[in-house]
Amino acid sequence: MTVASIRIASKEPWMFFLPVISGVIMLALILSFIFVPGTLGLYGSADSPNQATIIVAVALLYFIGYFLFYFTSAMVVFGARERFEGRDPTIGQSFSQSLARIDKILLLSLIGAIIGVLMQLLSGRGKNGRPNIIGQILASLIGVAWTVVSYFSLPVILNEQIGVIDSFKKSYELVKKSWGEGVSANISLLFIYVPGALLLLAGIFLLGGTVGLAIIVLGGLLLLIAYMVSIPVKAVISEALYVYATKGVVPSGFEADHLASFYQGPQGLPGKPLQ
């Protein structure tokens, strides 16, 4: 499924540039939150930082990050759906379709930000400076639960006339049908980061001088390419699994056996290819 999703996304090159655009925006925001409020003294003194302001800033960054991720992923989902149905999507069409659902995307982003901040607070160190083991365990459990209930939330709210809260229940039901394939596909995506990570480590720890710097640059470039590929591919996979689970049809570009071996369609029968 990962290979098939890469092939589908490669037919729409703009899908690979969306993560870069959102990443640049997010980096600029992080830098502005670090330097501008610090310059204005909004974080308090170095000895007594304003914790409330920091929490608000972190929450806002979480919200913006989730929004950028979900909005660009929504564009990819719409593009994938058009491709599955034999049409050639454009970036303008996908942007307009995502913009039409911006209220649901904003709410989904807000819930994700609240979950993110809660996990951050739970997993933080205690007053004695020691790791909060219980908090970290709770944060991990919350993270797993959030992954399960939100895995198909975006395809659900983009394809069905239901609210964000109701989409979590539907997402959970779909995850139970396709969890094996979804997990294996996401794990396989991690491997595309391996070459870049190995080169980066080799350049830092094993080599020095000009050669080491060149290897570091090459490793960083490969990591950037892996990031550009993984984000849209995840969205294509989630839409493909959603289509198969809800309609019992195999999206164009995928093999029926690959999907049917993990779960069956809504009628208990393998789906047929979309024409």
13 backbone dihedrals φ, ψ, rounded to 5° = -55, -25
For residue 91, the model assigns a pLDDT of 92
Q: Mention every residue, 6+ apart, whose C-beta is less than 8 A from residue 275.
A: 86
| Residue 47 to residue 103: CA distance in whole angstroms | 41
| Cβ 113 vs Cβ 63: under 8 Å | yes
| Cβ 96 vs Cβ 109: under 8 Å | no
For residue 267, the model assigns a pLDDT of 41
Q: Which residues pair with 272 in a beta bridge?
A: 249
Three-state DSSP string of 199-236: HHHHHHHHCCHHHHHHHHHHHHHHHHHHHHHHHHHHHH
Alpha helices in the chain (DSSP H): 2-10, 14-40, 51-84, 91-100, 102-123, 133-150, 153-159, 164-190, 194-201, 209-247, 256-260
For residue 174, the model assigns a pLDDT of 82
Length of the chain in terms of residues written: 275
* Total-model pTM: 0.77
11 backbone dihedrals φ, ψ, rounded to 5° = -75, -15
Q: pLDDT in tens for each of the 275 residues of the chain?
A: 778 888 888 888 899 999 889 889 888 888 877 766 554 455 554 445 566 777 788 888 889 999 999 999 999 999 998 888 888 888 999 999 999 999 999 999 999 999 988 888 887 766 666 767 888 888 888 988 888 888 888 899 988 888 899 999 888 888 776 655 666 666 777 888 888 889 888 888 877 677 888 888 899 899 889 888 888 888 888 888 888 878 777 787 776 555 555 544 444 434 443 33
For residue 266, the model assigns a pLDDT of 43
Residue 124, both tokens: 């933080």
For residue 258, the model assigns a pLDDT of 56
R_g over Cα of the chain = 21
CA atoms within 13 A on the CB side of 200: 11
Question: For residues 163-199, b (16+ Cβ closer than 10 Å) or e, as one string?
Answer: ebeebbebbbebbebbeebbeebbeebeebbeebeeb
| Residue 72 to residue 19: CA distance in whole angstroms | 7
| Cβ 61 vs Cβ 230: under 8 Å | no
Q: Where are the domains of the chain?
A: 2-273
208 backbone dihedrals φ, ψ, rounded to 5° = -135, 175
Residue 43, both tokens: 């974080």
User: How many CB atoms within 10 Å of residue 22?
Assistant: 19
For residue 67, the model assigns a pLDDT of 93
